[in-house]
Structure 1
Amino acid sequence: MRAWVVRAGENGERERAALEEGVLVVGWDRLAMGDLADAATRDDIKAAVAAAYPDEGPYTIGNWTGQLYRFVHEIQPGDLVVLPLKSLRVAIGRVTGAYEFRAGALEGMRHVRPVEWLVTDIDRQDIQSDLLDSMGSLLTVFEISRFGAAERVAAMAEGKPDPGRPDADELAASLTEPAKLYEEVRRRSPEEPLTLSIRDFLAIWGVQRRYPATTEQIKNELQARGLVTVPSFTEGTLDSRIAVLAGGAEPDKSGASAVTRLSGSLVLEAAHSIVALLGDTGGRTSSGSGSAGLGAHLPPDEEAETQAVAYRVSNLDSANRMPECVRVGDSLGTATTLMVLRGYSQLPVLDEDGRLRGVVSWESIGRARMADANAGLQTATVRGQEADGSDDLLDWIGAIQQFGYVIVRDHDHKVCGLITASDLTVQFGTRVRPFVLVEEIEQRLRRVVDRCIPLERIRATVPRGRAAQVHSAANLTFGAYKHLLKVPENWAALGWGIDQEHFLAALEECRNFRNGLMHFSPDPVTEEQLRPAQGLLELLRSLDPQI
C-alpha cells in the first residue's frame, strides 16, 4: 500500500466535485480530448503533453508527464490518497479503481480515478509537522513515503491520531530547551556523542527554519557553552544528522579533541579550526547529510563565518536519496529494463564501492548501438556530471539545465543522490510561491487603499518628515497598513463587512511572515507556515474580487 497526495486545483476549484462524486480529478484541460488510458508508457504521455502544450519547455513537459503517469499508471486500487482542502482540513480516501476518461464531463473534470472517501475533516493541526512538510509539495500528484507516511495516513483514516514517524527520536523530543541539551552533552562520554537531526536540533530553540538571526543566536549560545556541531547545523537538509560535542574540552592523553576522535580523519591542523570556531574568528564544518556527514572535518576557513547558511547541493532532498543504479558488470538489458520500468532517462553506473563510474542514458545507448549492434553496458557508459554535496547549488544549475541531471557524491566520493531538472523546478517553485503570495497581498492592499482613502489621510500615517515623499500607498511600508487601517475613518472608507480586529491581527501576522522571508532561510516554507498569509490573501480576493 502506498500513499499519495492529489490536489484539486491550485485554488481547490475541483474539491467539491471530488468529494461529492467520489473521484480524484486532475486538470490539464488541453488534454481533455485524449483518453490517457491508451498511453501505455511515459513516452506516450510525454508526446501527448508536448502536443497539447507546444510552448512549454522540456523540463515543464517532463514534470507534467511524471505527474500524469503517476495518476494514470502508478496509483493502484487500494492505495490511500490525501486531498488537502481549502478549509485547512484534509480528506483521506482509498482508491477503488483504474483511471477513467469521462468524455462528457465538464472541461477540467475528465481525467479521474474513483475513490472511497474515508474521512473528510481532519484538522491539519492534528498532523505532525514532518508529515505536513511531506504533503507540502506544489505538485498536483505526488507520493508521500518518508517517515512511515502510508501507515500514518492509514491510522488517521481510521480516526486515530497521527502516530508520528516510526523512527522518532524520543531523546530529541525530551530536549525541550537549550539547558537540557547542554546537560545531555555533558552527561555523555566522548565515545557516545549526542546525535540528532537538524530539525530536532532547531526545535530545542523553538524554531523550524534557519534564519540568520536565529542561526547567530544558536551559534553564540553553543560558543558560550563550549559546544560544536559536526557537521555544522547550518548546512544540509533539516533531516541531516549532526553530533553535538564538547568541542572546547581538554584533549585526551593522545592529544586529540573530541571532534578529531569523532571524525577519525582529521589532521593536526583541523584542531586549530575548532579553536577558531569556539573563539573570536569562527569557522564552519564541511557539508554533509545523514550519518555519513559525521565524518566530515572542519576546514580552517575563517571567512566561512560570513556565510552563516550556505545553499548547498545537499540542501535538496533528492541529493540525499540514493538513486536507482546499475553496477559495473551488469548487462545493458538490466539498465534498459530499469529505465523503462521507472521512466528514467539515465542511470548511474557504480563500482563495488559505490563510486560513480559513469552514466548510461538512452542517448549513450543509441550512440553505442550505432557503432556496434551488440554493444554492452561498458560501451554505452559515458562520463557523468558529478557534484559534491557541499558544492554551491547555484554553480550547478547550468549543468542541470543542460544535461538534465547531476549525480551527487558524499565526502567519501560515494554516490548518495541524483538531482534532476524536475527537482529544481519543484524546489524553486516552492521557494518562489511565498514571495508571489506576499506580493499579491501587498498589491491588493495598495490598490484598495489608493482607491478608497484620500492621499492626505495616507500621508498622515507616516512621520511628518516623510509625508512629502508619499505619493500613493506604494510608498508605504507593509507595517504602515496596520496603523493606517486602525483609524476608524479609514477603515469605514473600505466598506468591508468584516471584523476589524481580526483583520488587523492577520495583517500583523503576515507582516511577521514577510519579514521572515526577507531573511532568506535555506529551509523551505511549509504549508503550515504559509497558511496565515494564504488565508489573508483569500480574504482580500473575496473582499475585492475585481482586482
Structure 2
Amino acid sequence: MERSSMRAWVVRAGENGEREQAALDDGVLLVGWLGLGDLARTTTRDGIRASVAAAYPDEGPYTVGNWTGQLYRFVHEIQPGDLVVLPLKSLRVAVGRVDGDYEYRTAAAHGMRHVRRVEWLVTDIDRQEIQSDLLDSMGSLLTVFELGRFGAAERVAALSEGKPDPGRPDADEFAATLTEPAKLYEEVRRRSPDEPLTLSIRDFLAVWGVQRRHPAATEQIKSGLEARGLVTIPPFTEGTLDSQVAVLAGGAEPDESGTSAVTRLSGSSDLSAAVQSAAHAVGQLPDEEADVQTVAYRVSNLESANRMPESVQVGDSLGTAMTIMVLRGYGQLPVLDADGRLRGVVSWESIGRARMADPGADLQTATVRGQEADRSDDLLDWIGTIQQSGYVLVRDHDHKVCGLITASDLTVQFGTRVRPFVLVEEIEQRLRRVVDRCIPLDRIKAAAPRGRAAQVNSAANLTFGAYGHLLKTPQNWAALGWAIDQQHFLAALEDCRRFRNDLMHFSPDPVTDDQLLPAQGLLELLRSVDPQV
C-alpha cells in the first residue's frame, strides 16, 4: 500500500543521552527497555502490552500502557523513509532518515538491542535555528513520539537539507508586525467592530516582549488593556499559548443597534466556536467579574482540554462505541447529545457490568455518569479525580464538551514543569560543593550580603546571586583551578540567575527547551570542569 505522506519522529537516546554516541556511530535508533526480548514477531499492540506487563510485573496499568504505545510506534508505526530527530547533549540536534525495519540485536549489550537503521543526514543543527514552536514539540519526556503539529515533517525535512526552519505553515504573518503595544492599539482602533483582531496567545504575549504569563507580565498587560478600554476574549490568561483570542474595544459605546462589541462578537459566524462561546459568557457576567483575568493553573491551560475528543452520540449503537474504542485503543468514550453536551460515558467496565445484567444491553444501558470539568476550573482541584478515574471531560462556556484530560496528559505536563527545577537544583548543588571544597569559609562569608556573614556556615547559606560576587574575586576563581574563561562563566552564571528568578514566579505556561538553553549550557560546563562533584 502506498503511504500518504512522510512523518517525523523524535527518538531519544536515553534519559541522559547515554546511547547518543552509539546511535550516531552505528547509524541506528536505539531504545532501552532492558527486560524485553525480540518484538519483531509481536504484531499487535495487545501483544506488546502483554510482553511489557510480563517483563515489568511491578508496574501499573498506566505505565504499561504508556510504554506499550512508545514501543509499538518504534516497532511498527515508524516506517522507512520517515524522518527522525535526535536531541543531543551538546544542545544540538541530529536529523536522519529511517532506512530499515525494527531489529533485535541479540549479541549487543543491554540497552543497545532494540534498533532501527537510520541514515544520519545532519548531526549538528543549532537549536537556535529551530523556531520555538517546533522546539516546544520536541520537548516531550517520552522516548519515542511523533512530531505531528505545525507542519513538522516538512520543516524537519528543510532542516535536514541545511535550510532554515520555514516556521509554521499557519503562522500569522500579520501578528509578527505587531511589535509593540502601540501598534496593537492602533490596529484594533483601525478595524471595524465586526472584524476584530484575532491572534494566538503566543503572538499576543510577543507584542509585550514576553513568552510566558507570569504575574508581573500579566499585570503589565492588563493595565495596558484597561487603560485603553480593550479586552481579550477569551481572557488571555486562559487556554494554551496556541489558543486564539480576539482583541476588541470592550469599553466602546454601543453601535446604532444598541449592542456592545462583546455582544456582536458572540454572534459572529466568522470566528471559532470557542471564541464565540467565550464572548457570550463574558457578556453575561456581572461587571465586577467581567475583567477578571487571574493567572492560575486552569483546566484550559492543558492542550488536550482544547482538543475535541472522539465521541459517540445518543442513539448510536453499542457496537459503534466498541468499534471506535478498539480501533483507537480507548478505555472510554463520551456520549454526547445533538448539541454536543455530555450525557454520560461508556467504558469497558460499564459495558461489562451492563452485559452481566443483560447480554443484549445497548449503549444507553452501558452509559454511566461522566466526570466533567469547566475550562475555567482550577486544574489542581481535578487532579485527584483524574488519578482515580483516569480522565475528566472538559466543557466550554456553553456546557459543550471541548476536551478530555487523561492521567497521561498530567504526567507529561507536570514532568515538563518539574524538569527546569531539577536542572537548577543540580547547578546549585554543584556550585555549593565545589565552593565548599576549594574556598575557605572566611572568604565564603565575605560574599554574603552586609550583616549576613555571621549566618553563613557553608556555601549552602549563600543566595544564588552571591556566587557571582564570590567568583569575581581573582583569588577565589584561581582556587577552583578551572581552565575556562572566567568572564564567559560569570556571564552564564548571571543568565542562569535571571532564569532561576523568573522560574520562581508562577506561570501557567511551560518552560521551552529554548528557554532552558542557558541553564543547560551552564550545567554541562560544570559537569565537564568538575566531574567528581
- 1:531 is matched with which residue? 517
1:30 aligned to which of 18, 30, 35: 35
Question: 2: CA distance between counterparts of 1:15 and 1:334?
Answer: 45
How far the C-alpha of 1:509 sits from its partner, in A, is 0.6
Seen in structure 2, the aligned counterparts of structure 1 residues 158 and 290 have a Cα distance that, compared at 3 Å, is: farther
Report the more deviating stretch, 377-386 or 449-458.
377-386
Seen in structure 2, the aligned counterparts of structure 1 residues 494 and 290 have a Cα distance that, compared at 3 Å, is: farther
Structure 2 counterpart of 1:68, one-letter code: L
- Root-mean-square deviation (CA, aligned residues, Å) is 2.1
Equivalent residues in 2 for 1:96-495, closer than 5 Å: 96-264=99-267, 292-297=277-282, 299-300=285-286, 302=288, 308-495=294-481
Q: Is the aligned partner of 1:12 residue 2:17?
A: yes
Question: 2: CA distance between counterparts of 1:72 and 1:291?
Answer: 43
Say whether the 8 Å CA contact 1:90–1:121 is kept in structure 2. yes
The CA deviation string for residues 100-135 of structure 1, in whole angstroms up to 9 with x for no partner, is 211111111111122222332322111111111111
The CA deviation string for residues 395-436 of structure 1, in whole angstroms up to 9 with x for no partner, is 111111011111112122222211110110000000011111
Say whether the 8 Å CA contact 1:135–1:144 is kept in structure 2. yes
Seen in structure 2, the aligned counterparts of structure 1 residues 414 and 160 have a Cα distance that, compared at 3 Å, is: same
- 1:278 is matched with which residue? none
How far the C-alpha of 1:480 sits from its partner, in A, is 0.2
How far the C-alpha of 1:472 sits from its partner, in A, is 0.8
Seen in structure 2, the aligned counterparts of structure 1 residues 399 and 14 have a Cα distance that, compared at 3 Å, is: same
Question: 1: CA distance between counterparts of 2:290 and 2:461?
Answer: 37
2:8 aligned to which of 3, 14, 22: 3
Question: 1: CA distance between counterparts of 2:110 and 2:290?
Answer: 54
- 2:500 is matched with which residue? 514
Seen in structure 2, the aligned counterparts of structure 1 residues 305 and 462 have a Cα distance that, compared at 3 Å, is: farther
Structure 1 counterpart of 2:266, one-letter code: S
How far the C-alpha of 1:65 sits from its partner, in A, is 2.3
- 2:3 is matched with which residue? none
How far the C-alpha of 1:325 sits from its partner, in A, is 2.1
Question: 2: CA distance between counterparts of 1:121 and 1:140?
Answer: 20
Question: 2: CA distance between counterparts of 1:305 and 1:229?
Answer: 9
2:86 aligned to which of 83, 87, 91: 83
Report the more deviating stretch, 142-151 or 521-530.
142-151
How far the C-alpha of 1:81 sits from its partner, in A, is 1.5
Q: Secondary structure at the match of 1:99?
A: strand
Structure 2 counterpart of 1:485, one-letter code: L
How far the C-alpha of 1:4 sits from its partner, in A, is 1.2
Question: 2: CA distance between counterparts of 1:149 and 1:358?
Answer: 36
Say whether the 8 Å CA contact 1:240–1:289 is kept in structure 2. no
Question: 1: CA distance between counterparts of 2:53 and 2:288?
Answer: 50
How far the C-alpha of 1:157 sits from its partner, in A, is 2.5
How far the C-alpha of 1:251 sits from its partner, in A, is 2.3
Unaligned runs of 5+ in 1: 266-287
Q: Secondary structure at the match of 1:38?
A: coil
Say whether the 8 Å CA contact 2:235–2:293 is kept in structure 1. no
Structure 2 counterpart of 1:296, one-letter code: A
Structure 1 counterpart of 2:333, one-letter code: L
How far the C-alpha of 1:467 sits from its partner, in A, is 0.8
Say whether the 8 Å CA contact 1:355–1:413 is kept in structure 2. yes
How far the C-alpha of 1:11 sits from its partner, in A, is 1.9
The size of the alignment, in residue pairs, is: 523
Question: 1: CA distance between counterparts of 2:277 and 2:311?
Answer: 20
Q: Secondary structure at the match of 1:98?
A: strand
Q: Secondary structure at the match of 1:104?
A: coil
- 1:276 is matched with which residue? none
Say whether the 8 Å CA contact 1:359–1:382 is kept in structure 2. yes
Structure 1 counterpart of 2:21, one-letter code: R
Q: Secondary structure at the match of 1:398?
A: helix
Query: Sequence identity of aligned pairs in percent?
Result: 83
Say whether the 8 Å CA contact 2:236–2:293 is kept in structure 1. no
Q: TM-score, with normalisation over the residues of structure 1?
A: 0.91
Seen in structure 2, the aligned counterparts of structure 1 residues 24 and 493 have a Cα distance that, compared at 3 Å, is: same
Report the more deviating stretch, 308-317 or 53-62.
53-62
The CA deviation string for residues 365-402 of structure 1, in whole angstroms up to 9 with x for no partner, is 22222223333333322222111111111111111101
Unaligned runs of 5+ in 2: 1-5
Q: Secondary structure at the match of 1:97?
A: strand
How far the C-alpha of 1:87 sits from its partner, in A, is 2.3
Seen in structure 2, the aligned counterparts of structure 1 residues 376 and 54 have a Cα distance that, compared at 3 Å, is: same
How far the C-alpha of 1:23 sits from its partner, in A, is 1.6
Question: 1: CA distance between counterparts of 2:290 and 2:419?
Answer: 30
Q: TM-score, with normalisation over the residues of structure 2?
A: 0.93
How far the C-alpha of 1:257 sits from its partner, in A, is 2.4
Seen in structure 2, the aligned counterparts of structure 1 residues 291 and 196 have a Cα distance that, compared at 3 Å, is: farther
Question: 1: CA distance between counterparts of 2:511 and 2:199?
Answer: 21
The CA deviation string for residues 279-325 of structure 1, in whole angstroms up to 9 with x for no partner, is xxxxxxxxx96665444316337489887312111111111112222
Seen in structure 2, the aligned counterparts of structure 1 residues 521 and 289 have a Cα distance that, compared at 3 Å, is: farther
Report the more deviating stretch, 219-228 or 425-434.
219-228
Question: 1: CA distance between counterparts of 2:315 and 2:100?
Answer: 41
Question: 2: CA distance between counterparts of 1:457 and 1:123?
Answer: 40
Question: 2: CA distance between counterparts of 1:413 and 1:393?
Answer: 17
Question: 1: CA distance between counterparts of 2:277 and 2:259?
Answer: 21
